[in-house]
Structure 1
Amino acid sequence: MKRRWVQAPGGNLETADSLAQQLNIDKSLAQVLVQRGISTFDEARVYFRPQMSKLHDPFLMKDMDIAVSRIDDAFAMGEKILIYGDYDVDGTTAVALTYGFFSKFTQHIDYYIPDRHKEGYGISVQGIDYASQNGFSLIIALDCGIKSVERIAYANSLNIDFIICDHHLPGDELPAAVAVLDPKRADCPYPFKELAGCGIGFKLAQAYSIRHSLDPGGYEQYIDLVMVSIAADIVPVEDENRILAYHGLIRLNQEPCKGLKALMDIAGKNKDFTLTDVVFVLAPRINAAGRMDHANEAVKMLICRDDAMAREQSLLINLQNTARKTSDQNMTEEALALIDECEILINKKTTVVYHESWNKGVIGIVASRLIERYYRPTVVLTTSNGLLTGSARSVSGFDLYEALLGCEDLLEQFGGHKFAAGLTIKPENIQSFTDRFEEIVASTITEDMLCPEIKIDAELDFNQIDGKFQRIIARMAPFGPSNTAPVFITHNVFLSGKPHVVGIKHLKLTIKQQNSIIFDSIGFGLAEYENLLQPNQPFSVCYTIEENIWKDQRRLQLNIKGIKPEYS
């Protein structure tokens, strides 16, 4: 797939020069920092050394004092509390954290995860009925609930109170819960708006601990779960999320909870985890429980206090992930065939595909796979309880949520954010929705948005790259949205030896500039360039710099994101 190379503006060169001198670093690295809003020594110190003490006061969050007081009342009265959460990684880690923390103070507590296939997303009538039938009078909802106005009203009619801990954008009306913790609500003064759902649960535990002068270690022990949610939910790795991800990775690599440790062992990687590793190694496995069966199994694993039980649960989840991969592959092939067989679909600005037998739990992954082939806003639908239910995914720069908002009258239910959403639609409205969605997207999306881009931070010569340079880059981690690994561009690059394909589509090559050291390089998905690169012919590359570890040997390696022969 063709990609646009977009180089970031150079920024204030005087500021970059000054910062380079203060920090004793390469000017190109100082330029990258300035582009990320870091222009002074003190700002750099905060950035490179994230401190838990810099977390915001949780009581700045609207309704936090009310939520803590309601929990105090529940403990004092011996009320039964139900911890309710979504079935994805963010929801299950949030439930595990909140249940694990508050179960230290009461025995009258349990958790509930809705069945993805039977109940769907968010607060369900079945979940409320379960609470009523089993004597729960307080539900703490995590990663969902902000739009459940009617469901919360129903719970109130049964004398069940709700505390909502959500991070999604509210609708015009807030639910009539006892407390609504959501930094995105218009009247919330909380200074950071981009916490994950598990992060809201963490702030609730932090607030309870502050109110009762408890040891911070009581809630900080769950920071590995918060980090996993940050990685999986693709929230910006800045402000509090950077602090939580940074310290969560330290805990994951040194003293993870038993469930995560067992899952790491079974996955065959149990050290040197990065956020990227969490996204590709741990998150799919945790998600697989809710996709293929029931997300309760993921929560059971995450709250395990016994090594043997943790291993048993992680083995189960790993098997579910294997089944998920098979289902994902088969469904993706079927979806691509549907598109390829229809010329009209190929030439559209959107993809909307439907098959009644597709697994509801896997359609979100299939939507992402389709974007890898056809880079455009995508909706994948299947049948569930007489309706069509779907997952939608967007492309960089395009607001998917706004596009769905324009189709609201055709939808039974929808929710999500700019890049991902879920929706439910009546079968008779599918064609109208497909046409309207295409019309809205076609009229608002730009051609640039329909071509994936590589964002380049700075230009380098290979002679600038050494161990110190890479160590400073490593200290910029954890990398994720809003703090991606720096991408550099180098011109006048030549082959050193013959490139060769590894796997099916990856390119392994060694490259150099004149009078520079030779770098081992890997270009994932770039096998097409094997025969386009010729000896003694210059080309340009954009890449990240990483440390390749093989048999305890560490070497610098360039991870190539794009190649442009200079004669083309």
Structure 2
Amino acid sequence: MEKWFIKNTKPENIDYEKFNLNKILYKVLVNRDIKTEDEIERYLNPSLEDLNTSLLLPDLIKASNLIMKNIEQNNKIRIVGDYDVDGVMSTYILYNGLLRLNANIDFDIPNRITDGYGINKTIINRAKEDNINLIITCDNGIAAFDAISYAKENNIDIIVTDHHEVVRNELKEEVLPLADAIINPKRDNSKYPFKEICGGVVAYKLIDYLYKINGINEDELYNFLLPYAAIATVCDVMPLINENRIIVSNGLRYLNNTSDIGLSALIKSAMLEDKKIDVYHLGFVLGPTINSSGRLEDASIAIDLLLEKDENKALEKAKYLRGLNVERQVLTDDGYNKIDKQIEINNLMSKQKVLIVYDDDLNESVVGIIAGRIKEKYNRPTIVLTYSNGILKGSGRSIDVYNMFEKVSEHKNLLESFGGHAMACGLSLKKENLEEFINLINKDADLTEEDLIKKVYMDLGLSLSNTDLNLAKQLEKFEPYGTANPNAVFGTKNLKVIRFSVFGKNKNVIKMILTDGMTSREILLFESIDDFILKLSKEYPINEINNMINNLNSNIFLDIVYTPSINSFRGNQNLELKIKNYRVSEGARC
């Protein structure tokens, strides 16, 4: 069940036409809280000059001084990253950035299975054996109290660079590990004006300051490190507003002209070398390929690719990662089907407002992806767990009205480990605590039936005549799109299907021509034909549906929510409306 809404953000009384905007385009910006002339200027022209200064991050100078001291003394420095895309990008940024400063540097990325998340005593012992003087974490460390204390006991200095939520006690007071410096924009004493940056950007900011005090031209930073910060931002699903939008917009520009051998090989292996790389390619092609190494084998494989200087070797490594990603997709699909079936068989939708599902045979590397897909299907907070090395391990994904980090934190006494943020978490617990955990989480969920109804928001209701190729071209000015800066979405009611066809190996691309009686438009729907027929059959007789499918005379009417897009083929550009949601028109219901 869905409820559809038109956003109704109040605009300012300004001259938006001076920016070559019409009323429709300005309404789209207003719905993204871009209202004033200054905000519009910054939005339409995201400039690197508007990035926040690194100096506003807590402990930045303290950390930089400690790093420079160790570089000058030729001490051994080790980066401890994470196995997801943000962790890999953060590691790359710190490694390459410090290497440029002639640091005696290496890295150690935890293995998902044998090490688990983040810095721990095993990693500290490896550092001790290798006579490491300084450890710099990236994308982890803010909650690693025991490991950091252990490092200090062994005379190893620690700098934490992280972006995750800080730990708080029962009084909501900040509790920090005993590191020598902690760079995290979410610290209570942070003066950094934009908190929602990823680990890769925190690492980038540290290198930015180190380059400045060492007289290195910022063009090096932009050319060789900014694209990696952009990849990290998109793949860690950071909001593409404010500083993140500047980083991604400019990072894509440099990425599309990159000379990095490893990154170029990755692009070539995905057959994207002749395409303009955009947010979609980062989030759904390149990012998952990088992520596959940490999920199925070891994230150091991805780092080795990015650092490779031989083009042929880089391409071999990139193709290997693409193969791993295919394997990951199969594991994810199989796992998703098992969890979805379990929800249906056990009637969990009627028993749990927060879906907590466990299966012994899932690969722990894909439980987060599965949780995300289940959340999207049912619009419920979801935690998926599996059994690994004597303990249950899992990941959660949430909806806007449920702060998963806060709610699960209330019961962390039942957990062996826990971390995350409002929309996602990772956790582990003993099997004997699972039932109590499920009961308590659902008892305290405070989710109403209204909360669990999927809300579909659109910018405007439009007639088909307003959805032309020029509108689609104008909307390209608002890219890059992503979290918190979504594609413009419009709605149109009571459209008749006058032509129908199905494409794709799995018959999951539906193309229709719809008309309001005066204007017709080609639309695309990415959904299996079986699912589409099933939904229509609840409102229309099957003979009417068959007539539509066979392009015979039929009277099927749809309301659609869609995004205008441009289909470029052999030099020609055509308008396509990509459907995000649809329903049978009210007047056409049986």
Q: TM-score, normalised by structure 1?
A: 0.94
Report if the CA contact (8 A) 1:396-1:449 is conserved.
Answer: no
What does 1:15-414 align with in structure 2 at a 5 Å threshold? 15=13, 18-106=14-102, 108-172=104-168, 173-220=175-222, 221-255=224-258, 257-270=260-273, 271-344=275-348, 347-414=351-418
Q: Which amino acid aligns with 1:152?
A: I
Superposed displacement of residue 392, structure 1: 1.1
Q: Who is 1:555 aligned against?
A: 574
Report if the CA contact (8 A) 1:81-1:137 is conserved.
Answer: yes
Cα deviation 1:518-542 (Å, max 9, x = unaligned) = 3221112274555557756654221
Q: 1:497 to 1:384 in 2, by over 3 A?
A: closer
Q: 1:344 to 1:237 in 2, by over 3 A?
A: closer
State the SS of the aligned residue for 2:100.
coil
Q: 1:484 to 1:431 in 2, by over 3 A?
A: same
Give the % identical residues: 30
Q: Which amino acid aligns with 1:239?
A: N
Q: Who is 2:551 aligned against?
A: none
Cα deviation 1:207-259 (Å, max 9, x = unaligned) = 11122222002222211111111111111101110001001111222226322
- In structure 2, the gaps of 5 or more residues are 169-174, 549-553
Superposed displacement of residue 456, structure 1: 0.6
Cα deviation 1:50-104 (Å, max 9, x = unaligned) = 1111111101111111111111101111110101111000000110111011112
Aligned pair count reads 561
Q: Which amino acid aligns with 1:563?
A: Y
Q: Which amino acid aligns with 1:490?
A: T
Report if the CA contact (8 A) 2:562-2:579 is conserved.
Answer: yes
State the SS of the aligned residue for 1:22.
helix
Report if the CA contact (8 A) 1:224-1:256 is conserved.
Answer: no
Report if the CA contact (8 A) 2:16-2:37 is conserved.
Answer: no
Superposed displacement of residue 544, structure 1: 0.6
How many angstroms apart in 2 are the aligned matches of 1:341 and 1:36? Answer: 41
Report if the CA contact (8 A) 2:57-2:183 is conserved.
Answer: yes
Aligned-pair RMSD on alpha carbons? 2.0
How many angstroms apart in 1 are the aligned matches of 2:148 and 2:6? Answer: 48
Superposed displacement of residue 420, structure 1: 1.0
State the SS of the aligned residue for 1:448.
coil
Q: Which moved more, 1:398-407 or 1:550-559?
A: 550-559
Q: Which moved more, 1:29-38 or 1:91-100?
A: 29-38
Superposed displacement of residue 402, structure 1: 1.5
Q: Which amino acid aligns with 1:251?
A: Y
Q: Who is 1:566 aligned against?
A: 586
State the SS of the aligned residue for 2:252.
helix
How many angstroms apart in 1 are the aligned matches of 2:502 and 2:389? Answer: 50
Instruction: Identify the match of residue 509 of structure 1 among 502, 512, 516.
Output: 512
Q: Which amino acid aligns with 2:310?
A: D
Q: Which moved more, 1:462-471 or 1:108-117?
A: 462-471
How many angstroms apart in 1 are the aligned matches of 2:19 and 2:352? Answer: 50
- In structure 1, the gaps of 5 or more residues are none
Q: 1:317 to 1:43 in 2, by over 3 A?
A: same
Q: Which amino acid aligns with 2:119?
A: I
Q: Who is 1:419 aligned against?
A: 423
Q: Which amino acid aligns with 2:134?
A: L
State the SS of the aligned residue for 1:183.
coil
How many angstroms apart in 2 are the aligned matches of 1:306 and 1:453? Answer: 50
Q: 1:544 to 1:447 in 2, by over 3 A?
A: same
Q: Does 1:525 align with 2:530?
A: no
Report if the CA contact (8 A) 1:238-1:482 is conserved.
Answer: yes
Q: Who is 2:6 aligned against?
A: 7
Superposed displacement of residue 344, structure 1: 4.8
How many angstroms apart in 1 are the aligned matches of 2:442 and 2:126? Answer: 40
Superposed displacement of residue 395, structure 1: 2.2
Cα deviation 1:145-198 (Å, max 9, x = unaligned) = 001122111100011111111001101311111111110011101011011100
Cα deviation 1:464-512 (Å, max 9, x = unaligned) = 2334322221110111111111101123433332354654344211123
How many angstroms apart in 1 are the aligned matches of 2:2 and 2:528? Answer: 12
Q: TM-score, normalised by structure 2?
A: 0.91
How many angstroms apart in 1 are the aligned matches of 2:432 and 2:235? Answer: 34
